[in-house]
Amino acid sequence: MNKYELAVVVNAKLEDEERAAVLERVKEYITRFGGTVIDVDDWGKRKLAYEIQKMNEGHYYFVHFEADGTTPGQLEQSMRIMDGVIRYLCVRQDA
């Protein structure tokens, strides 16, 4: 099992319940594709480096999880079409 970190930028204009639902959906995808969520860091609302879809702010989450090598690809395919997710990046952490 490899360790991964998933950075997710969620639309800051969403209500708290909607943002929580997006994060829960991300965690469900991780477990569905065979991974286990270790922890979630909520960095809160931050200014984006550049404007994305006419937005200047996003809500940042960092999800740490363990999974095999195929999980990140499957996860990114699912996140690509998720509503509320502005950007995402999944990287493997060194042991």
Per-residue model confidence (pLDDT) at position 74: 92
Domain residue extents for the chain: 2-92
Per-residue model confidence (pLDDT) at position 95: 64
Class of domain 2-92: alpha beta
pLDDT in tens, 43-93: 999 999 999 989 999 999 999 999 998 999 999 999 999 999 999 999 999
Per-residue model confidence (pLDDT) at position 94: 81
Ordered DSSP codes for 78-95: HHTT-TTEEEEEEEEPP-
Total-model pTM:
0.90
Element (H, E) at 30: helix 16-32
